[in-house]
Chain A
Amino acid sequence: MVMKLTGGRVFDPAHGVNGEVRDIYVHDGRIVDPPTDGKIRSEIDLRGKVVMAGAIDMHTHIGGGKVNIARTMLPEDHAADVVARTELMRSGCGHAAPSTLTAGYRYAEMGYTAGFEPAILPINARQAHMEMHDTPIIDKGGYVMLGSDDFLLRMMAANDDQEAINNYIAWTITHSQAIGVKVVNPGGINAFKFNQRKLDLDEQNKFYGVTPRDILLRLARGVNELGIPHPLHVHGCNLGVPGNMGTTLDTINGIEGLPMHMTHIQFHSYGTEGDFKFSSGAAEIAEAINKNKNITVDVGQILFGQTVTASGDNMRQYAAHPHAHPNKWVCMDIECDAGCGVLPFKYKDQSYVNALQWMIGLETFLLVEDPWRIFLTTDHPNGAPFTSYPHLIRLLMDKTFRNEVLSKLHPEAQKVSHLASIDREYSLYEIAIMTRAGAAKLVGLADRGHLGVGGAADITVYTDDADREKMFSKPDYVFKDGRMVVERGDLIDVTWGTTHVVKPEFDNSVETALKPYFDRYHTQKMGNFKISDDEIVDDGRGSLTIQPLHKGGAL
């Protein structure tokens, strides 16, 4: 039997629907055509409401080793936001590094129905999936990190052909149960283990002689040739370094037109002008993004207050450790595979640098013209916790509000930014692109992020309100796979989302090299490294959804 959602103003950019009044029919968790027999089980009156697909966070640190280090090291942060158990919900904690349970509930309460962990180390993928398994309601998935792992760098040093590298990429994505590939400070995490303290785009790793530029090209080409829909997800070189906009522009130009997603671009858009030798590179970066249609970005907006930064980039996190607030921090080298660094951080509105970071993020949002190629993130929790998204949406949609906040920030920072003069305000349609249709397309989710027939019935319903923060904080209804999970802003049902993966084809002969490699050098057998489908299903609550590859994906 069919549920009818009647008369809402629908924003479904995947189908070009911009606020038109439509009825939506739901059956068995999917959006369906109107029933031919006219039989409706239930009807919900959405007249006057704003209807969008469930929102998708395409870059959020919700599971894995570094996130759990952040949780463990911040009892004082949790204490201010403990969450009591209810009949329906488990207890937990929120704020900067929330418990998995609370994270799932809060995402759903904000109208989000999927989140993707962007930094799954192959060797730690099992843990990332365990944590995501314990994250209720939302769908999840992740991007597996390559680029500082010994095996890839070894292949590149030996100048192995691209096909061999593609096989290794596909093998890794398959056995770590991922949907994309990420690279973090390409080769830099590895170089730090050889005591290199920085690695520019064309600087060689001491041991392998390989440069970040080579790594980016090899991985981006591999991802593209394998037909993996999500482009190579790049956390570039020199994160946070004043003047890194040059590196970022070189990275864009150096990728030779291949699809590339540059993440938390705000942290990579810094110049060195002015008295503070720290300035905005947002205009130049946005111009490069506008010009290069192969590039997508998410912003990694910072918002003021206490948070924690958790990153795979231990080289840059080590360099940043004097800024830890409170003064405690962790860096780890991990399994000749990757690394991580965790630093609590407080962004202050009266700090010149932090105020300018805030402005750079917003400038980027407003200067990049195509909302299909820019995504709304705070790099949770690195720029701010994901719970601040409604506030960020208001900053984008409401120029008066934005300039009011701006006027209270560090005065010198205000002087060097053009933000106040930018008139653009995002529309609801553009927000729906950025957080739904565009995000689904970018991640490679064929059946999510849209409201067309056949799509999953992940649907969020809002009351239109000029105060966009209020509007996006508490949706009227959220449906997950057709079940109402939120009503009038409150959680009323707890479901367990699926794990989205891709399964690119590859030649399994890659294991003839990998098996002895694990035996000789590693402390875990290749067979035990692999994560089986059963592990994702686990106690029966989990499930796998295999998303389609782009055409021509087979080797």
Chain B
Amino acid sequence: MSEMIEPGIWQEVASPFCGIASDDITIKVDGMTVTVLENADPIVKAGFETPITDTSPRIKGNKASLEEAISFITNAMRESSQSVIGGMATDLNGARSVMALADKSNSTIDHMNSDGAFRNLLVLQDTGWMNTTLTEVRNRVDLLLVVGSDIESSFPRFFERMVWNKESMFGQEIESRQVVYLGKAPSGNASTSPQGKKAQVIACDDNDLPEVLSVLRALVNGRQMQADSVGGIPLSELSTLAEQLKQASYSVVTWSASMLDFDHAEASVQMLCETVKDLNAETRCSGLPLSGKEGDTTANHVSAWQSGYPVRTSFNRGYPEYDPYLFNSQRMLADGEVDTLVWVSSFDINRTPPKTDATTIVLGRSGMIFDQEPEVFIPVGTPGIDHAGRTFRTDSVVAVPLQKLRDSGLPSTFDVLTAVEQAL
């Protein structure tokens, strides 16, 4: 567990701000000011250092007490005939409180990152996959294939921690690891090896990825191709890649579904996952979906164990109903089906609610700026800074404990939503 090694200095702090949840961060806390001393990256730094500005709830823009705000929300939920609890950017107990309230208030739940998450979830529910986790990658990967994703922009320390680590459990020569990008090229040099070996890039447009991935799978399975090139990539390059994958002892195929932003990207994720399965007939190969931001992995986990389904589940009829299309909260809001939106966003001040005519209630990180002032705004604590908590990493397996680093007095999402649920 992270601990205070001297007054105001915390070591081994875990970051809930990116899905790899690095927990080697050193933090200085001085009053309400938090500074990352060691192992900062842009996402961790912004995550921990965003200052507290609001400390008081507002109702229709006017300062209000927490009790008044809770009572306002309770009334709004009571009067609502179709409410959505969206955003869901919170920790374990925050997600539990969303579930309890949604169940009692007949709400629909969704997460702000669901568009990306469902590109993976639909594959899990249709054909499944063979995946791995971060420590396996760190110790075993000999070929990393990055598909359609610029990892370092969202997961800045991925390569440092999982690919270019100093040593492996099994005596692997780390420099011998190969990195291949298929689709997007990397935006920086995180993927370059310690001795300067650059990642191989096989570039193509996102729109060509579905076709490119189909051909790659065909080649992995030894099918003959008539075309000379696909998506602008010479077939020989894809044949070489297929051969590399077959020769590797423990290749890892990774992607960030939120970056596969094209229609029916789930079909491409499926193609990729099936390719991974095919490769396992002879050698080992695993997928590694990268996500876990804004608590999306946590939200889907808690939703699944409490209701049976991931988010995009409605309790409107008194029991859970799951439909990734019907209960997509953006669609519901856009089609005017929602009268009340509770938006939970406790990690990032920039993740504000979508524009809507529905009565909007925001449990947000202190410092949020709105285009349109919500009916109610409650600045809530950030898990891992203002209150203790737990969050799941991208691999859905490891959950890290989060500590309370300062005494800001901000309520947690769990405190607020549990109070509403009890009052209903």
Contacts and interface: CB of A to CB of B under 8 A. Distances in A.
Interface of A: 63, 65, 67-69, 71-75, 78-79, 82-85, 90-93, 97-101, 121, 123-124, 126-127, 130-131, 134, 150, 192-195, 207, 318, 324, 327-337, 342, 520-525, 527-528, 530, 532, 535, 538-539
A330 B131 contact: yes
B167 to A, nearest CB: 6
A192 B396 CA distance: 21
Category for how many chain B residues contact A: 35 or more
Interface string B383-417: 00000001010001111110000000000001000
Contacts of A328: 124-128
B130 interface: yes
B375 interface: no
Contacts of A331: 130-131, 280
**Which of B308, B310, B392, B398 neighbours the largest number of chain A CB atoms within 10 Å of its CB?**
B308
B125 A72 contact: yes
Given A71-B308, A75-B308, A90 B138 contact: no
**The 7 residue pairs across chains A and B that have the minimum distance between CB atoms:** A93-B308, A78-B308, A84-B319, A335-B135, A523-B134, A328-B128, A126-B399
Contacts of B100: 90
B103 A332 contact: no
B304 A72 contact: yes
Given A329-B128, A524-B400, A68 B12 contact: no
Contact of B135 (A91, A332, A336, A530): A336
Contacts of A93: 307-309, 320
Contact of A193 (B20, B250, B308): B250
A196 B93 CA distance: 41
Interface string B1-29: 11100000000101000001011100000
A532 B1 contact: yes
Nearest to A528: B23
B307 A99 contact: yes
Contacts of A520: 166-167
Given A92-B320, A127-B399, A523-B161, A528 B2 contact: yes
Interface of A is mostly: mixed
B12 A127 contact: no
A318 B134 CA distance: 21
Contact of B309 (A75, A90, A522): A75
Contacts of B135: 123, 335-337, 521-524
Contacts of A78: 308-309, 320, 322
B45 interface: no
Interface in B304-333: 304-310, 315, 317-322
Nearest to A192: B284
B92 interface: yes
8 contacts: A65-B397, A78-B308, A91-B103, A130-B302, A130-B305, A522-B135, A523-B161, A528-B12
Interface string B102-129: 0110000000000000000100111111
B320 A72 contact: no
A134 B397 contact: no
Contacts of A65: 396-397
Nearest to B313: A75
A530 B381 CA distance: 25
Interface in B263-285: 280, 283-284
B300 interface: yes
A339 B310 CA distance: 22
B53 to A, nearest CB: 29
B401 A333 contact: no
B305 A134 contact: yes
Contacts of B130: 318, 330-332
A305 to B, nearest CB: 18
A527 B401 CA distance: 10
Contacts of A124: 397-398
A196 B124 CA distance: 26
Contacts of A193: 136, 140, 250, 284
Contact of A72 (B131, B166, B300): B300
A90 B307 CA distance: 9
Contact of A82 (B1, B132, B301, B320): B320
Contact of A91 (B93, B132, B318): B318
Contacts of A91: 103, 307, 315, 318-320
A124 B286 CA distance: 19
A333 B121 CA distance: 19
A97 B304 CA distance: 10
A520 B168 CA distance: 8
Contact of A535 (B125, B305, B401): B401
B204 interface: no
A127 B400 CA distance: 10
A312 B286 CA distance: 17
Contacts of B23: 524-525, 528
A134 B320 CA distance: 17
A336 to B, nearest CB: 5
Contacts of B20: 523
Given A65-B397, A127-B301, A336 B319 contact: no
**Which of B139, B162, B315, B398 neighbours the largest number of chain A CB atoms within 10 Å of its CB?**
B398
Contacts of B400: 524, 528
A85 B3 CA distance: 41
**Which of B167, B286, B304 neighbours the largest number of chain A CB atoms within 10 Å of its CB?**
B304
B70 to A, nearest CB: 18
Nearest to A99: B308
B131 A130 contact: no
Contacts of B227: none
Nearest to A329: B128
Nearest to B284: A195
A521 B286 CA distance: 19
A331 B125 CA distance: 14
Contact of A195 (B127, B283, B302, B309): B283
Contact of B304 (A68, A79, A333, A342): A68
B307 A332 contact: no
Contacts of A195: 249, 283-284
B399 A336 contact: no
A407 B383 CA distance: 60
Contacts of A337: 135
Given A93-B320, A130-B92, A335 B136 contact: yes
A318 B333 CA distance: 42
A507 B163 CA distance: 34
B308 A92 contact: yes
B309 A333 contact: no
B423 to A, nearest CB: 16
B397 A92 contact: no
Contacts of A332: 130-133, 286, 397
Nearest to B131: A332
Nearest to A72: B304
A441 B124 CA distance: 40
A448 to B, nearest CB: 25
